[in-house]
Amino acid sequence: MTTAIAIEGVSKHFRLYHQKYTSLKARILHPGRIPYEEFWALRDVSAEIEAGKTIGILGRNGSGKSTLLKCLAGILKPTSGRVVLRGSLAAMLELGAGFQPELSGRDNVYLNGSLLGFSRKEMDRRFDDIVAFAELEKFIDNQVKYYSSGMYVRLGFAVAVNVEPDILLVDEVLAVGDERFQMKCMERVYRFQAEGRTIVVVSHSPDMMRQTCDQVLVMDGGRLITIGKPGEAIRAFRDRLLDTGFVPEPGSPEAIAAGHAAEVRPMRPRMVRIGDVAVEHDDQDDRPYLVTGEPLTVRAKLDVTERVLGAGFRVTILRGSDIIFISDTGQHAGGVNLEPGPQEVAFRFARIPLLDGSFSLHLDVRDAGGVVLDMREPACTFEVMNPGRATGLVDLPMEVELVQLESPPYSEAAGSTWL
Amino acid sequence: MTTVSEVAKGGLGAEAFVPGRRAWGDSEPPARVVSSEERMWTRIRALWASRELLVFLTRKEIKVRYQASVLGLLWSLLNPTVVLLTYYLVFTFFLVSAIPYFALYLFSGLLVWNLFSLGVQTSATSIVGAAGIVKKVAFPREVLPLSQVGVAVFFFSLQLIVMAIFLAAFRILPSWNYFPLLVFALVDLVIVTAGLSLLVSGLTVFYRDLEHLIMVLMQAWFWLVPIIYSFNNHIWGQATGAKRILKFVYLADPVTPIILTFQRFFWGKLGLAGTTATSIEVHFTYGTYATLLAAVLGGSVLVFLLGMRVFGRVAANFAEEL
Q: Is A312 on the interface with B (CB under 8 A)?
A: no
Residues 146 to 175 of B: which have CB under 8 A from any A CB? none
pLDDT for B24 equals 40
Residues 14 to 33 of B: which have CB under 8 A from any A CB? 14-24, 28-33
- d(Cα A334, Cα A402) in Å, to the nearest integer? 43
| Contacts A–B by Cβ distance under 8 A | 215
pLDDT for B10 equals 36
Q: Is the per-residue pLDDT at A280 higher than 50?
A: yes
How many angstroms away from the CA of B110 is the closest CA of chain A? 30
pLDDT for A378 equals 73
- Rounded mean pLDDT, A337-356: 87
Return the biggest CA–CA distance within chain B: 106
Q: Are A65 and A202 in contact (CB under 8 A)?
A: yes
Q: Is B209 on the interface with A (CB under 8 A)?
A: yes
Q: Is the per-residue pLDDT at B178 higher than 50?
A: yes
Q: Is the per-residue pLDDT at A211 higher than 80?
A: no
Query: Is the Cβ pair A102, B63 closer than 8 Å?
Result: yes
- Rounded mean pLDDT, B236-257: 79
pLDDT for A195 equals 86
pLDDT for B217 equals 94
For A3-260, the fitting CATH number among 3.20.20.105, 3.40.50.720, 1.20.1250.20, 3.40.50.300 is 3.40.50.300
Please give the order of strands across the beta sheet that includes A341-349.
Answer: A341-349, A296-304, A272-281, B2-3
Shortest CA distance to B139 belongs to which of B315, B306, B321? B315
Query: Is the Cβ pair B19, A196 closer than 8 Å?
Result: yes
Q: Is the per-residue pLDDT at A419 higher than 50?
A: no
pLDDT digit string, tens, across residues A53-91: 899 998 877 788 888 998 998 888 888 888 998 888 888
Q: Helix, strand or coil for residue B76? A: helix
Q: Is the per-residue pLDDT at A352 higher than 70?
A: yes
Nearest by CB to B64, which of A102, A275, A284?
A102
Q: Is the per-residue pLDDT at A333 higher than 70?
A: no
Positive or negative CA dihedral for A50, A54, A60, A66?
A: positive
Best mutation target, B137, B318, B321, to test chain A (most A CBs within 10 A): B137
- Confidence band for A98, pLDDT divided at 50, 70 and 90: confident
- d(Cα A138, Cα B115) in Å, to the nearest integer? 40
The amino acid at A242: L
- Rounded mean pLDDT, A214-241: 83
pLDDT for A248 equals 44
Q: What percent of chain B has pLDDT over 70?
A: 83
Q: Helix, strand or coil for residue A155? A: helix
Q: Is the per-residue pLDDT at B126 higher than 60?
A: yes
pLDDT for B19 equals 33
CA atoms within 13 A on the CB side of A297: 12
Q: Where are the alpha helices (DSSP H) in A264-377?
A: 329-332
CA atoms within 13 A on the CB side of B183: 4
Strands A223-228 and A215-220: antiparallel
* Contact residues for A179 (Cβ-Cβ < 8 A; gap 6+): A319, A320, A357, A358, A359, A360, A381
Q: What angle do CA B197, B192, B209 make, to 5 degrees?
A: 25
How many angstroms away from the CA of B141 is the closest CA of chain A? 10
Enter the ipTM: 0.75
- d(Cα A35, Cα A18) in Å, to the nearest integer? 7
Q: Are B91 and B106 in contact (CB under 8 A)?
A: yes
Beta bridge mates, B2: A281
* Contact residues for B8 (Cβ-Cβ < 8 A; gap 6+): A183, A187, A360, A376, A378, A379, A380, A381
- Confidence band for A376, pLDDT divided at 50, 70 and 90: confident
Q: Is the per-residue pLDDT at B26 higher than 50?
A: no
Q: Is B67 on the interface with A (CB under 8 A)?
A: yes
Q: Is the per-residue pLDDT at B14 higher than 60?
A: no
Query: What are the helix and strand counts (H, E) for chain B?
Result: 15, 3
A1-5, A190-194, B65-69: segment of lowest average pLDDT: B65-69
pLDDT for A413 equals 53
- My answer on whether omega of the bond before A253 falls inside 30° of 0, hence cis, is no
Nearest by CB to A164, which of B11, B23, B135?
B23
- Confidence band for B68, pLDDT divided at 50, 70 and 90: low
pLDDT for B2 equals 61
pLDDT digit string, tens, across residues A128-187: 989 998 888 889 998 888 888 788 888 888 888 787 788 888 876 555 556 677 777 778
- Contact list in A for residue B36 (CB cut-off 8 A) is 77-80
pLDDT digit string, tens, across residues B142-169: 999 999 999 999 999 989 998 999 899 9
When computed from its CA atoms, the radius of gyration of chain B, rounded to whole angstroms, is 26
* Contact residues for A256 (Cβ-Cβ < 8 A; gap 6+): A204, A205, A206, A207
Shortest CA distance to B207 belongs to which of A24, A283, A384? A24
pLDDT digit string, tens, across residues B259-311: 999 998 998 877 776 555 444 544 578 888 899 999 999 999 999 999 999 99
* Contact residues for B283 (Cβ-Cβ < 8 A; gap 6+): none
- Rounded mean pLDDT, A331-360: 83
Query: Is the Cβ pair B207, A84 closer than 8 Å?
Result: no
Other Cβ atoms closer than 10 A to B89 = 12
A240: exposed, middle or buried (Cβ count in 10 Å: 0-12, 13-18, 19+): buried
Q: Helix, strand or coil for residue A253? A: helix
When computed from its CA atoms, the radius of gyration of chain A, rounded to whole angstroms, is 26
Query: Is the Cβ pair B139, A117 closer than 8 Å?
Result: yes
Q: Is A399 on the interface with B (CB under 8 A)?
A: no
A297-301, A303-307, B13-17, B102-106: segment of lowest average pLDDT: B13-17
Q: Is the per-residue pLDDT at A245 higher than 60?
A: no
What is the second-level CATH architecture of the domain A272-385? Distorted Sandwich (2.70)
How many angstroms away from the CA of B199 is the closest CA of chain A? 15
Best mutation target, B136, B205, B207, B322, to test chain A (most A CBs within 10 A): B136
Q: Are B127 and B204 in contact (CB under 8 A)?
A: yes
pLDDT for B154 equals 92
- Confidence band for B193, pLDDT divided at 50, 70 and 90: very high
- d(Cα B267, Cα B279) in Å, to the nearest integer? 13
More reliable by pLDDT, B8 or A223:
A223
Euclidean distance between the first and final Cα of chain A, in Å? 78
Q: Is the per-residue pLDDT at B198 higher than 60?
A: yes
Residues 179 to 208 of B: which have CB under 8 A from any A CB? 206-208
Other Cβ atoms closer than 10 A to A201 = 25
Q: In chain A, where does the domain assigned CATH 2.70.50.60 lie?
A: 272-385
Query: Which of the listed ranges A30-44, A347-361, B23-37 does the model predict with the highest average pLDDT?
Result: A347-361
Q: Helix, strand or coil for residue A265? A: coil
- Rounded mean pLDDT, A5-13: 90
What one-character-per-residue DSSP string does A8-71 give? EEEEEEEEEESS---SHHHHHHS-SPPPEEEEEEEEEEEEEEETT-EEEEE--TTSSHHHHHHH
